[in-house]
């Protein structure tokens, strides 16, 4: 897996198209959620792209600095692995890289995510803990999870 960390302004047009296509494929089509994915937060994010040897985008997140998405936290969002590649464990690699880069770029602050409820064990294994009440987002149960650093 080849990892790339890039600001919005440094994304090549082809990369941006790949990102939006993958997000739409999974979040809109696969999960059957009609929602506005393009939320004008991409411009503030650091984009984590995981590409295979052929250059195909198969894993992606976006990272936010302190207070850019959640007050008092850095954040990781739009966590996605291409459906054809989920069985290879790239999701764990993606999150480990995202946590590492979140700390490297933004400092050693707690990281907050809005996790789909069925993925709490996955995120829990990476040090995230559930806080607060569960909530529905786009028809899918979610919860807030926090990872304290250092």
pLDDT digits (tens, 9 = 90+) for 46-90: 999 999 999 999 999 999 999 999 999 999 999 999 999 999 999
The model's pTM: 0.95
Q: Minimal CA–CA distance to 102: which of 60, 74, 73?
A: 74
pLDDT value of position 150: 61
What is the sign of the dihedral through the CA atoms of 65, 68, 72 and 74?
A: negative
Q: Which domains does the chain have, with CATH numbers?
A: 2-108 (3.40.630.30)
pLDDT value of position 140: 92
Q: Residue 49's Cα: distance from chain center in Å?
A: 10
Half-sphere exposure of 128 (CA within 13 A, CB side): 26
- What DSSP designation does 27 have? I
Q: Which parts of the chain register pLDDT below 50?
A: none
pLDDT value of position 97: 98
What is the sign of the dihedral through the CA atoms of 106, 111, 114 and 117?
A: positive
């Amino acid at each position: 897996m080849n990892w790339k960390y890039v600001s919005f302004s440094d994304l090549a047009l082809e990369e941006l198209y790949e990102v939006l296509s993958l997000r739409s494929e999974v979040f809109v089509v696969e999960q059957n959620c009609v929602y506005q994915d393009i939320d004008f937060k991409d411009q503030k994010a650091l984009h984590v792209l995981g590409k295979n040897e052929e250059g195909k985008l198969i894993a992606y997140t976006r990272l936010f600095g302190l207070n850019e998405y959640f007050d008092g936290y850095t954040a990781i969002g739009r966590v996605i692995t291409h459906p054809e590649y989920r069985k290879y464990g790239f999701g764990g690699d993606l999150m480990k890289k995202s946590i590492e880069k979140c700390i490297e770029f933004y400092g050693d602050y707690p990281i907050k995510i809005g996790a789909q409820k069925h993925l709490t064990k996955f995120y829990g294994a990476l040090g995230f803990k559930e806080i607060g009440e569960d909530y529905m987002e786009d028809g899918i149960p979610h919860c807030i999870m926090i990872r304290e650093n250092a």
